[in-house]
Amino acid sequence: MVRMIRHRRTAKATRLRTFLAAITAAALLMAIGCTTEPATDEPAAETPAAEESTLERIKAEGVVRIGFANEAPYAYSTPDGKLAGFMPATMEYIFSQIGDIRLEGVLTEFSGLIPGLQAGRFDCVGAGLYINAERAQQAIPSNPQYTAAEGMAVLAGNPKGISSYEDLLRDDVTFGTVSGSINLQYATDAGLAESDVVLFPDVPSALAGLEAGRVDAIGMSVISLRDAMSKSGTTKIEIADPFTAPEGANAYGAVYFALGDEELAEVYNAELAKAIESGKLLEILEAEGFGKEMLPPEGVTSQDLIK
Q: Do domains 54-147+251-306 and 150-239 have the same CATH topology?
A: yes
pTM tops 0.75: no
Q: Kindly list the domain boundaries of the chain, sorted by start residue.
A: 54-147+251-306, 150-239
Phi, psi dihedral angles at 65 (to 5 degrees): -90, 125
Report the C-alpha gap between 103 and 136 in whole angstroms.
24
| SS (HEC) of the chain | CHHHHHHHHHHHHHHHHHHHHHHHHHHHHHHHHHHCCCCCCCCCCCCCCCCCCHHHHHHHHCEEEEEECCECCCEEECCCCCEECHHHHHHHHHHHHHCCCEEEEEECCHHHHHHHHHCCCCCEECCCCECCHHHHCCEEECCCCEEECEEEEEECCCCCCCCEHHHHHCCCCCEEEECCCCHHHHHHHCCCCHHHCEEECCHHHHHHHHHCCCCCEEEEEHHHHHHHHHHHCCCCEEECCCCECCCCCCEEECCEEECCCHHHHHHHHHHHHHHHHHCHHHHHHHHCCCCHHHCCCCCCCHHHHHC
Give pLDDT tens digits along the chain (307 positions): 333 333 333 444 444 454 444 444 444 434 434 443 444 555 555 655 668 999 999 999 999 999 998 888 889 899 998 999 999 999 999 999 999 999 999 999 888 999 999 999 999 999 988 898 889 999 999 999 999 888 999 999 999 999 999 999 999 999 999 887 888 989 999 999 999 999 998 888 999 999 999 999 999 888 888 888 988 899 999 999 999 998 877 789 999 999 999 999 999 999 999 999 999 999 999 998 888 888 998 889 999 998 7
| The CATH fold of domain 150-239 | D-Maltodextrin-Binding Protein; domain 2 (3.40.190)
Q: Which CATH class for the 54-147+251-306 domain?
A: alpha beta
